[in-house]
Structures are given as C-alpha cells and as structure tokens.
C-alpha cells in the first residue's frame, strides 16, 4: 500500500506558471510531459482602483486585492498547485515579473524562500531546461523595488489627480513620471516660442578642374590664412560673392585621413524604441507590443533591458555566421564589448535574436508585418554590432581664392565592414558627404557656379517619440518598462498632441504643468524624479528598506498637498467657440482637444453628447455639384476626396480636384499620383469620355 502511495506521489506533474499564454505551448514542448504549464495572464492581485489602497497610518502597508475577473483563474491555479509535485513560478524576468511571482506565492501558499522561482531571458529549449535546474528563492529586493514604485505612483496619482479634477476639470490625472515628461514637452515648446532667429548667410560654390570637368562642391570658409568668417548680412555676403566670381582658385592644401567608423551597440529597450520610430515610424507602444510577441515566440531575448551585455555563446554564433557569410575580414580580431551607462541593470542581455540562424528572410512568411519589420531591425543591428568597423578615407581641401579661402571635403568608403548590413538612423537630417575628385596641391581650379544663400538660425526641434524616449533615458526619468506607457498616457489625457512625428503640448498641458510647477515643484522636477529612480535602485540592490523611501517622500508631500488645497483657486478653461451649429440641440459647437488632435463637441454635454470631426477642405470645388471638397483618410492612411454635400452629391475620388479646366471639354482637371500618392503628378480630365491629360513640368 505504501509503495502504491509513493508511486502515485512521484507520478504527479510539476507545475510551471508563466505570465503570458503565448509561452505555454513553447515551454510545454521544451519541458515535456512531466510538466503542466499554466499562465497568469498578467497580474493576479493589485491595489484597488476605487480607493488609495495604502494604509498610511500603518506604515504605508499596501492593501492588495484580487483583480476583478481573476477569481476563477486563481481557483484553477490553486487546484493545480495542490496536485503538483513541485511548483515553479516562471513569470517575466524583471521586477514586475518578480512581484507577480511573489503575489502568486502568497495566493498559492508557497514559501517565497523556497527554490520556486525560475526565469528565462529567451524562450528557447536549452535556456528553459537550464532554468528549471537553477531554481532560486524569490528576490524580495526586486519585489520591494516594484512595490516602492507602485506605492509612490499611487500616492502621487490618487492624491493630486482629485485636486486637478476639483480645481481644473474632471478626467485629468497627475503622475510621478508622466507629469515631469509633460513638463519636458512644455519647456521645449516655450523655448521654441521664445526663440529669436538670427540671420546668417552661406556661399556655396561648384568648382571644376582646369578643363571644366569633374565638378565638386565647396563652401566659403574665410580669409586666406584660414581664419573663419561669419556672414551675418546680405551686404557682406554679396560683396564677397562678387569678389569670388572673378577670383583665381588654387588648391593650397590637401589633408587625407583614414578613419574608422564603429558599429552601434545592440539594442536596449530605449534604443529599440528610438530606432523603430526613426526607421519604421512605429510608436513606442507599437514597438513594445511587437517585441513582446517576438520574445514570447522565442525569436528574441527579453525586450525590457538597459544592458549591453551579450552572452559569449551568442557572440561565437554571430562571429561564425559572419565569417561564413561575408568573409573573415568582416570578423573583428576580438569579440566586441559595449559598455552601458552606470545606472544600467545587468540582469538581462541586450536585445538580440535567440539564434542568428533565424535570419529575417527565413521568417518572412512566418511573421506578421509588424513583427517581421521589427525582427529584421533587431537581427541586422545585432549582427552589425558584432562585425568589423568600417574604414573611411576622408579628404579635405583648402582652396585659395585670392584673399579668401573655400573648403571642400569628401568621404570614400574603403571597407564597408558593418555598414554592409546596417547604419544607425539619426533624429536630424545629416548632410551627406560625397567623394571628391582626384586633386593635387597647387592645382588650378575653375568656378562653375556660385550661390549665396540667406538662412536663419532654427529653434530647438519639438520632441518626437524617439527623441523623447532618449531624453527620458538620459535624464533618468522612468525605466525601460515605463517609456511607452507614459507617452501613451499623456497622449490619452490630452496633455500633448501630434503634428506628424512631432509632439507638442496642448493648452491643457500648459495649464496643468504650470499648476504643478507652482504647487508641486518636486513632482515635475527632473532632478528630483531622477533621484527617486536612484533610490528605487538602492531598494533593488538591498541597500535601503522600501518603506523608508516612501516615508521620506510622503511627509513633505502631504504638507505640500494640504497647502495646495488651500491656495489653488478654481481654474476655468474656456473652450474656443466655432461657427458650427449642433444639429441636435442648436448650440454653437466648441473646439476640444483629444489624443488625435482637435475635434468639435457640443457644449451641452452631458445632456447633448454630439461630436464631429474637424473637416479639412481644399481650395477647389466639387466637379459634380460645385460644393466644398473635403479631404478624408482611409483606414490604411490613404488620402481621398469627397463632397461636403454628401449624401445628395456622391462625388468621391482618390484624385484631387483642382481649379484648372480642361482645354478640350471645359470640365475639372484632377491631380493624381501613381505609387500610393508618391509618384509623379498627372493632370487628367474628370470627364471620363475626355482623354485629355498632361504631366506638369517641375519648376
């Protein structure tokens, strides 16, 4: 009988609990039939939404409750855990995942100090099987770091937000990270508004050899002794330009230099979001959704990291692939190592493919478009980071023009190296350097063209998602896991809006930021926020108790909150009134700001909830009825045109009506473009029976 019981006990399966259901099948396949795999589908417990959920009087003890809708799942997990021979908690390998495992241990009655926690940086067979062999206790330092952030964010959000509701308008929110990010955007916009442009001039030249061949570009530099001259006005520029038109040009000095261009390091969370914005036009949220799926499918390593470390095994695999594919000269003598900033956590590697043999070409038919584009970017960046440096030949020429000097420079790629695969994108456009023709010192040159140009200094550029993520990382605001949700939140609250890729503050963003700066200066202070992040790091490192951090923050914060309640008066935000009449109640509609820009809304809300999109029109009449023509966007972003008199008039076209008339039949000429609106313009007659068309010449 005892033997039967022992046999039954040993036949029980081991239970592995992961975070995402996408991992279940992969992990089950790797571990085999002796394991049962279940998923938490995110958090099981959290602070309540309806109350603060933190017992201030009891030393800031959090009051966790079961998340609504997770009761049945918890019952299922309890039953499975009770029947398992061993339970492994395999939630994501970050602080949030560590906290979820800790909550699971509480729910399932598992000792958090037992060897119950396993993590894998990549969902591959070897890594998953090895993780089970090195199970460890739950790291309470990481759990406490997550609790510190959660409690601080809850205190700030739940105690300042009601004040904003009361004093400004309902639906607003403040946040320990989001408020300082809005301030960055507001401060940048005020820099732009306060900027005074200054005039300056440049003189561009096109020079040739003495036979009028091999033209190349040069720029005015200054006096013949090499001293640079600034051209600040038209009079000076014109005087020098007139002199240069009749000057003699001689090559005074040639400087040749061989330089190496180093490859960019593999991706971190921040640099992945930045590069996906530049090269793929992805938002941070879109990037992280795609990266999460690639990780769960086993194609990339964990995507929330600020480490640049690469495992020796992965480096060896990459180097062997590079040598076999491109040749030994593309493999550096020693594996490349990249140094992350001091504050980076080194728990994970940089983001890389789990196997370089899974080239993006092989996965093209297996991955959805977003996943394929992002995987291709990650694969190329990682492989390039392990390749030899590029070698460039740079030539600069000092050219005498009698009493003045002009300069020319050129770059030629001598050895492509990593540039065979990948070149990092830039936020600002760079002037491309072209190759210079062969020149010799003392050589006579001829002037072919000369162009003086007026310019004005430009204000700082507005933030894009890429540059905002970069600023957040550099200033120490938030963590890799918070960049994308923070940007999504400030957009959803209507604090910022977009103009193409640029992000700018709305009127509401200005008002709330000014209120926060005046009354909660620490919350929107960049240095204070960065210091708080460092203190959370200290908790993760086990150097300080988390409740000490919260206590030190709360005491002065609570005093500030009481003072703000007394001093802030009601702030009325007046809506701009339009001339559009609400067809439901007859009021004049007002302009409102949403996450996607302005729209029209009835001021009678909540009695009247009518809203309208603001319609863009063009300076041309409908070719059918003469009405106003509206510009519309399809679901895929394509532009088309409709009549404002719809449905009475059924005009709709991908081609844009113009004010030009057909010389053959007198009908409207339509402007169309091939290749999804990016090709050359063709003017065609709207009348289908008329065959008149022409292609306008470029001016």
Could you list the active site residues? 302
d(CA 483, CA 487): 6
Helix, strand and coil in the chain, % to nearest 5: 35, 25, 40
Q: Pick from 289, 435, 311: which is nearest to 374 by CA?
A: 289
d(CA 252, CA 225): 11
Using DSSP's 3-state secondary structure scheme, residue 210 falls into coil
Residue 69 burial (CB count, 10 A): 8
d(CA 574, CA 507): 10
d(CA 92, CA 115): 17
408 CB-near residues (< 8 Å, 6+ apart) = 207, 216, 217, 218, 219, 396, 397, 399, 436
Q: Which residues pair with 593 in a beta bridge?
A: 598
Token digits for 280?
């793929």
Give Cα 453 distance to the centre of its chain. 35
Q: Are strands 639-643 and 652-653 parallel, antiparallel or unpaired?
A: antiparallel
Token digits for 685?
């007659």
d(CA 355, CA 317): 8
Using DSSP's 3-state secondary structure scheme, residue 258 falls into strand
d(CA 355, CA 375): 12
The pairs formed by 531-538 with CB atoms below 8 angstroms and a separation of 24 or more are 532/152, 532/176, 533/343, 533/476, 533/477, 533/478, 533/479, 534/343, 534/476, 535/148, 536/145, 536/148, 536/149, 537/145, 537/343, 537/345
Q: Which residues pair with 601 in a beta bridge?
A: 590, 611
Evaluate whether 493 touches 511 at the Cβ level (below 8 Å): no
Buried b (16+ CB within 10 A) or exposed e, 271-294: bbbbbbbbbbebbbbbbbbbbbbb
**Torsion angle in degrees (nearest 10) through CA of 436, 438, 442, 448:** -50
Q: Pick from 397, 400, 395, 396: which is nearest to 225 by CA?
A: 400
Residue 694 burial (CB count, 10 A): 12
**Count of positions (residues) in the chain:** 699
Query: Measuring CA to CA, how many Å separate 641 from each of 494, 615, 616, 669, 674?
Result: 28, 11, 10, 14, 16
d(CA 629, CA 637): 18
Token digits for 24?
């279940």
Q: Pick from 561, 633, 640, 573: which is nearest to 603 by CA?
A: 573
d(CA 625, CA 620): 12
């Amino acid at each position: 009988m005892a033997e039967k019981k022992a046999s039954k006990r040993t036949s029980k399966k081991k239970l592995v609990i992961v975070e995402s259901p996408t991992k279940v099948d992969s992990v089950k396949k790797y571990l085999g039939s002796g394991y049962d795999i279940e998923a938490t589908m995110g958090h099981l417990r959290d602070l309540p939404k309806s109350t603060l959920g933190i017992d201030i009087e009891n030393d800031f003890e959090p009051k966790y409750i079961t998340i609504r809708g997770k009761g049945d799942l918890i019952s299922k997990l309890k039953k499975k855990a009770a029947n398992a021979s061993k339970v492994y908690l395999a939630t994501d390998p970050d602080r949030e995942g560590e906290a979820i495992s800790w909550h699971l241990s509480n729910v399932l009655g598992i000792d958090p100090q037992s060897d119950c926690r396993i993590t894998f940086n990549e969902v591959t067979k070897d890594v998953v099987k090895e993780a089970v062999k090195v199970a460890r206790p739950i790291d309470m330092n990481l759990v406490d770091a997550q609790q510190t952030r959660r409690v601080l964010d809850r205190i700030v959000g739940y105690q300042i937000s009601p004040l904003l509701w009361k004093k400004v308008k309902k639906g607003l929110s403040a946040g320990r990270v989001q408020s300082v990010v809005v301030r960055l955007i507001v401060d940048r916009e005020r820099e732009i508004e306060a900027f005074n442009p200054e005039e300056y001039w440049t003189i561009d030249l096109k020079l040739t050899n003495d036979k009028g061949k091999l033209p190349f570009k040069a720029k005015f530099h200054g006096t013949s002794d090499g001293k640079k001259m600034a051209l600040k006005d038209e009079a000076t520029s014109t005087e020098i330009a007139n002199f240069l038109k009749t000057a003699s040009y001689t090559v005074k000095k040639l400087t040749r230099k061989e330089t190496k261009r180093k490859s960019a390091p593999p991706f971190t969370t921040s640099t992945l979001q930045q590069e996906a914005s530049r090269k793929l036009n992805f938002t941070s949220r879109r990037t992280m959704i795609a990266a999460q799926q690639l990780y769960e499918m086993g194609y990339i390593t964990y995507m929330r990291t600020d480490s640049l470390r690469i495992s020796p095994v992965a480096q060896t695999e990459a180097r062997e692939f590079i040598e076999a594919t491109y040749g030994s000269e593309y493999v550096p003598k020693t594996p490349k190592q990249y140094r992350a900033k001091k504050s980076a956590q080194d728990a994970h590697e940089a983001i890389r493919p789990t196997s370089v043999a899974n080239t993006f070409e092989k996965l093209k038919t297996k991955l959805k478009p977003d996943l394929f584009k992002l995987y291709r970017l990650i694969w190329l960046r990682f492989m390039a980071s392990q390749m030899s440096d590029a070698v460039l030949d740079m030539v600069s020429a000092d050219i005498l023009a009698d009493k003045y000097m002009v300069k020319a420079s050129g770059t030629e790629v001598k050895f492509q190296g990593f540039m065979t695969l990948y070149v990092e994108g830039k936020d600002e456009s760079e002037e491309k350097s072209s190759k210079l023709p062969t020149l010799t010192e003392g050589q006579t040159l001829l002037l072919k063209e000369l162009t003086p140009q007026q310019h004005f200094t430009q204000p700082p550029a507005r933030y894009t998602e890429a540059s905002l993520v970069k600023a957040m990382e550099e200033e120490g605001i938030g963590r890799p896991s918070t960049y994308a949700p923070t940007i999504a939140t400030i957009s959803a609250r209507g604090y910022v809006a977009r103009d193409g890729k640029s992000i700018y503050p709305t009127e509401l963003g200005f008002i709330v930021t000014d209120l926060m700066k005046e009354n909660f200066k620490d919350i929107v202070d960049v240095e204070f926020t960065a210091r708080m992040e460092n203190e959370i790091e200290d908790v993760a490192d086990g150097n300080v108790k988390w409740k000490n951090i919260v206590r030190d923050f709360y005491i002065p914060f609570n005093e500030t909150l009481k003072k703000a309640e007394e001093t802030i008066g009601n702030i009325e935000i007046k809506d701009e009134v339009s001339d559009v009449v609400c067809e439901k109640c007859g009021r004049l509609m007002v302009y409102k700001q949403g996450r996607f820009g302005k729209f029209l809304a009835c001021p009678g809300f909540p009695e009247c909830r009518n809203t309208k999109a603001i319609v863009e029109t063009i300076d041309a009449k409908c070719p059918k009825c003469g009405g106003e023509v509206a510009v519309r966007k399809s679901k895929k972003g394509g532009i088309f045109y409709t009549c404002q008199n719809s449905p009475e008039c059924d005009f709709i076209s991908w081609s844009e009506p113009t004010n030009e008339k057909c010389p053959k039949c007198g009908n409207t000429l339509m402007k169309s473009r091939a290749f999804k609106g990016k090709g050359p313009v063709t003017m065609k007659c709207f009348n289908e029976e008329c065959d008149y068309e022409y292609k306008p010449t470029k001016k």
